[in-house]
Structure 1
Amino acid sequence: MSRHVFPGRNGASELAIGWDRPLQSFFVQALRPHPHLDDEDETIAWHGTSLREIVTAREAVTIASHWADLPGDLAIILETDRLKTLGQSDGEHQAAMKRRLFPGQ
């Protein structure tokens, strides 16, 4: 898994974007401080939580660009993150959880 964090905008204080190898999806998560809990964040947007939900780095960057100003080469960085995981496979527990969460996949 990779995770890159940027200062947020449009109501987000922080934007996280990266590659989740077990889900085979890029993800985008916009956070802001929780209004009632000190030192806690509240998620205001979270994409890429389903199997193969966001399959291209460009799509992830497009979604994330609403919540943060991002570097121009971020899609290349994310694709490199994905490529680095090609030789990896699920462990026993990851495979069991995926069968439970995504039956028939």
Structure 2
Amino acid sequence: MSRYELKPRPGNGVIKAVIGWDRPLQSFFAQVFTPTEDEPDEGEATIWLGTEPGELPTPEAAIRVVEAYADIPETLAASLAADRHATIGMVDGVHQTRAKLSLFGTRS
């Protein structure tokens, strides 16, 4: 799994945006955090995509989710693609397989 924290754009109420690759789900993920009264510095993920198998299949799909809220480094899509490429051939362990069966009713 990879995870990149992105610098939020000013003026949109966002305190953090995160993007990355989740190998067990075979999906990129994107999160946008806004402050809450209880956690003004950490906030909560008010946008969170990539929690279902294959939901965000490309780096560009994940970037589109966060690009309105955060600055996107020029190299981010290539870094995300490299993260995915580095996991080719990896298989789920016993616990990941059981979790997928429980959550999604599938092994893949």
SS of 2:47 mapped into structure 1 = strand
* Correspondence 1:49-88 to 2 at 5 A: 49-88=51-90
Q: Percent identity?
A: 43
Q: Are 1:4 and 2:9 matched, yes or no?
A: no
d(CA) in 2 for partners of 1:62 and 1:77?
Answer: 16
Q: Are 1:97 and 2:99 matched, yes or no?
A: yes
Q: Which amino acid aligns with 2:64?
A: T
TM-score after normalising by structure 1: 0.90
Q: Which amino acid aligns with 2:102?
A: R
**Structure 2 spans left out of the alignment, 5+ residues:** none
- Report if the CA contact (8 A) 2:33-2:42 is conserved: no
- Report if the CA contact (8 A) 1:30-1:45 is conserved: yes
- Report if the CA contact (8 A) 2:15-2:42 is conserved: no
d(CA) in 2 for partners of 1:58 and 1:35?
Answer: 33
RMSD: 1.5
d(CA) in 2 for partners of 1:61 and 1:38?
Answer: 25
The runs of 4+ residues in structure 1 deviating greater than 6 Å are none
TM-score after normalising by structure 2: 0.88
d(CA) in 2 for partners of 1:38 and 1:11?
Answer: 11
Q: Say how many residue pairs are matched.
A: 105
